[in-house]
Amino acid sequence: MRLIIAFGILTITFVLVRVGPSSPADKYLANVAARGQDVSQVVAAIEARYGLDKPIYEQYINYMGNLARGDWGWSFSTSMPVTELIKTHWIYSFQLIVLSSVFAALLGILVGIYSAVRQYSKTDYIATFLSFIGVSIPNFWLGVML
């Protein structure tokens, strides 16, 4: 089931990037135009380099094949392969995961003990309500808000 979900997410991601108002090559063009280069030639070169000039089904097959081989593309913002960025930055995500998990476990245990000791009190109901809200908030949204 997880494989099907991952496949679906990858497919949705691929489609959303391709059906947007601009192609992935267009995002690079502001700098090109500022330097006075011929934009149409640069677009054609970028599309040929990354296979964006091929039919959509062929782009999709290449996309999935590259992902399976570990070739996750090129970051235009840092001019590095995405896999290199992940290799150099994964430790920060890992630290956040460990620290937040320890914090959540300790807080959950403390609130649970407090609620058990003061069962059916007003503060127990408030703590339970806030716990439900905390569990219901999507992690990605909370991360953006923090």
Q: Does residue 51 register a pLDDT over 80?
A: yes
Query: Where a domain ends, among 71, 100, 115?
Result: 71
- Same domain, yes or no, for 60 and 27? yes
- Alpha-carbon distance 35 to 28, whole Å? 12
Domain count, the chain: 2
Question: Residue 24: pLDDT band by 50, 70, 90 thresholds?
Answer: low
| 80 beta partners | 75
- Same domain, yes or no, for 92 and 67? no
Q: Distances from the Cα of 5 to the Cαs of 11, 37, 65, 70, 111, in angstroms?
A: 10, 43, 17, 19, 34
> Within a 10 A sphere around the Cβ of 71, how many other Cβ atoms?
14
Each residue's pLDDT tens digit, 91-111: 999 998 999 899 999 999 999
In a domain, 103, yes or no: yes
Q: Which domain holds residue 66?
A: 2-71
pLDDT over 90 for what percent of the chain?
Answer: 49
- Same domain, yes or no, for 19 and 63? yes
- Same domain, yes or no, for 109 and 53? no
Cβ contact 29:39 at 8 Å:
yes
- Alpha-carbon distance 89 to 43, whole Å? 30
Q: Does the pTM of the predicted model rise above 0.95? A: no
In a domain, 14, yes or no: yes
- Same domain, yes or no, for 66 and 92? no
| CA-based nearest residue to 65, from 85, 51, 45 | 51
pLDDT at 16 (0 to 100): 87
Question: Mean pLDDT in the chain?
Answer: 87
- Same domain, yes or no, for 51 and 99? no
